[in-house]
Amino acid sequence: MWPVGPGDGDRRSRADLPAGTLYARSPDQLYAIDVASGATVVTPVAITTGRPVSMIATSDGVVLDPQDGTPGVVVRDGRRPVGLPGRLERAAALLPGPSGHLWVLRRVGRAPSFTSATLVDERGHRDGPHLYTSGRYGPDGSGGLLVWNGAGVWQRYPPPARRLTTGRVTAVGLHHLQVLECDAGRGCREFLVDRRHDRRTALPGHDPSYGEGVLSPRGTRLAGSRGYGAREPGTTVVRVADGTVLHVFPGPPGLSTGPLGSLVWLSERWLAALHGGRLTFYDSRHDHTIDFPVGHLRQLAWRPAPDAPGTPAARPVTSSR
């Protein structure tokens, strides 16, 4: 359950937390936290690897996939871990897909090599397109795929494929990207790209101390890491429109985004953040934090309630290539 806070303010704030399950992984435990109530289910899961581990929320649990070839597991809510089924077991890497699906990535051929991406269901059965690229796949924040190559960053799925930027992506959100574009004449500029409406908005001056970030569902907030070249290294929350710093979590910045992430927006207002192995819920409306009494954590994954605002809409899944 939620710890007893110092006063009524904590209790009122917790009442506004969104419904859903936040998964938090330590080296030997998986915590499934019902955010609204604080009720927590702890499952022993020992992943003995020094390499990153992808953690992807599914409709009834999480998939844990070490990136060093160590066998992965699926942990369904309230059950013990079991091996990955079907095509999930044979993946070189996994990415979150739409509507409770996952993308299975595999290397194809020799140099110049390609990467295939196959959409599968949670049982590991193919249930969607089978795509190829000579670039690098990445998550788009809502179950689709981005591709990085020498010509920029492209939306690969859902179709139609289109280029989003000639530069690089610095933050990913449910419907938005923050991108950095540089040229010899103008220097570097950042833009907020709204993928739904194919709209770009220029942002205030670029701060080179920022690393990767994650955008809130409506793209108004950015949480990201600042390296040790910054005046205040750590995890920083910024208002996107004008670059105002809303909050700084001191300490070593973690891996911010995607299935390796230590930062997850639960809603437009609430952020879950790991810093120093501790879990904190941050209220960006009132600049208020609530610590959760679990330590030694490494990464997070979020499964919102099906009817929660900001939940990715289900996309049609087809079996065409």
pLDDT in tens, 75-123: 999 899 999 999 999 898 999 999 889 999 998 876 566 899 999 999 9
Contact 212, 170 (CB under 8 A): yes
pLDDT confidence tier of residue 270, bands split at 50, 70 and 90: very high
- The two tokens of residue 57 are 């929320």
Residue 264 to residue 162: CA distance in whole angstroms: 27
Residue 101 to residue 40: CA distance in whole angstroms: 25
Whether 195 is in a domain gets the answer no
Q: Using one digit for the tens of pLDDT, what is the confidence trace for 280-311?
A: 999 999 999 999 988 889 899 999 998 766 55
- DSSP bridge pairs for 189: 181
Contacting residues for 68 by C-beta, under 8 A, at least 6 apart:
49, 50, 51
Contact 55, 318 (CB under 8 A): no
pLDDT at 67: 83
Residue 130 to residue 66: CA distance in whole angstroms: 23
111 against 155, higher pLDDT: 155
Contact 221, 135 (CB under 8 A): no
Whether 79 is in a domain gets the answer no
Q: Using one digit for the tens of pLDDT, what is the confidence trace for 169-190?
A: 999 999 999 999 988 777 888 9
Whether 134 is in a domain gets the answer yes
Whether the predicted pLDDT of 145 surpasses 70: yes
Whether 53 is in a domain gets the answer no
C-alpha angle with apex 52: 60 to 99, nearest 5 degrees? 30
Q: Measured in whole angstroms, how far is the alpha carbon of residue 164 from the centre of its chain?
A: 19
Nearest in space to 59 (alpha carbons), one of 20, 92, 104: 20
Whether 236 is in a domain gets the answer no
pLDDT at 5: 46
Whether 42 is in a domain gets the answer no
Comparing 25-34, 50-59, 194-203, 227-236, the range with the smallest average pLDDT is: 227-236
Whether 129 is in a domain gets the answer yes
Matching residue, tokens 């990535």: 105
Number of structural domains (the chain) is 1
pLDDT at 100: 85
Whether 106 is in a domain gets the answer yes
Quote the domain boundaries for residue 135: 98-166
Say what the pTM is.
Answer: 0.89
Contact 41, 31 (CB under 8 A): yes
